[in-house]
Amino acid sequence: MSSHPLDPPAAPARPNRPALDLEARLLHRDGLLLILDKPAGVPVHRGPKGDRPGEINLEQFFDQLMFGLPRAPSLAHRLDKDTSGCLVLGRHRKALEKLGLLFKQGKVDKTYWAVVEGEPAGDAGEIDLALGRLDESRGWWMKADPAGLPSRTLWRVLGRGADQATGAPIAWLALEPITGRTHQLRVHCQAMGWPILGDPIYGSAPRAGGPPLHLHSREIVVPMSKNKEPVRAVAPAPPHMRERLRACGWEGVEMPSASAPLPAPGEGVEGRR
């Protein structure tokens, strides 16, 4: 059927929008690196057995971030699927080599926010607890293991409160991993008696139907050049954590004081040595 001459013209077809708009999640961009605000619940890359049906991963969308370069950026490090926040990408081979060395040498400063179950004793400390693989059948699951790899985390309480859903005590922590072991923060918090809220592996959360993992890569500082100030990025608190952060005293304002330095190793420590 032909259209009537007075009919309005058909609306142009809208291009398919990507399932994940990474450009809108950029926290920093320069000629060497990008820093993304990674959403919780999305793996950074395909698993060893491939993607699950209907599942996406961040690497599928890195071609959105070429910005004139011939190749898409690549991961400089990783975050767990259910962890949100600052994620660094290298824009080319030389940048990736530099970033890889900085991460390996522990020169990249990382601060995480976590909401944990329970009441930490004291307000700050250091956890010095070696970690090893749980067993071969559990993949990357980890455990405290005196024969494992040395693992250290600084922690500081930013606020305390009660979970509005259960009335149970919770605490808002800043966590600074000195080493970078798999699941380090999750296992260290569990070993101290205050597992991260929403953790179905090391905490009390159910595998399905429970709250999401309350672990967020809040701030990252990358010293890319000796002649320039380090690159610093801060990722806003993710929506799924805001209710419990407010219950612990967070006012919803992104304040620099929330990223104040943690105690130096060995200073005022309270924790497991």
Element (H, E) at 75: strand 74-75
Catalytic residue among 80, 82, 109, 199: 80
Q: How many CB atoms lie within 10 A of CB 239?
A: 11
Active site residue 7: no
Q: Which two tokens stand for residue 146?
A: 């005196």
**Measured between alpha carbons, how far is 35 from 28 in angstroms, rounded to an integer?**
5
Give the helix, strand, coil percentages of the chain, each rounded to 5. Answer: 15, 25, 55
**Measured between alpha carbons, how far is 129 from 61 in angstroms, rounded to an integer?**
37
Beta bridge partners of 220: 110, 233
DSSP 222: E
Residues marked active site are found at 80
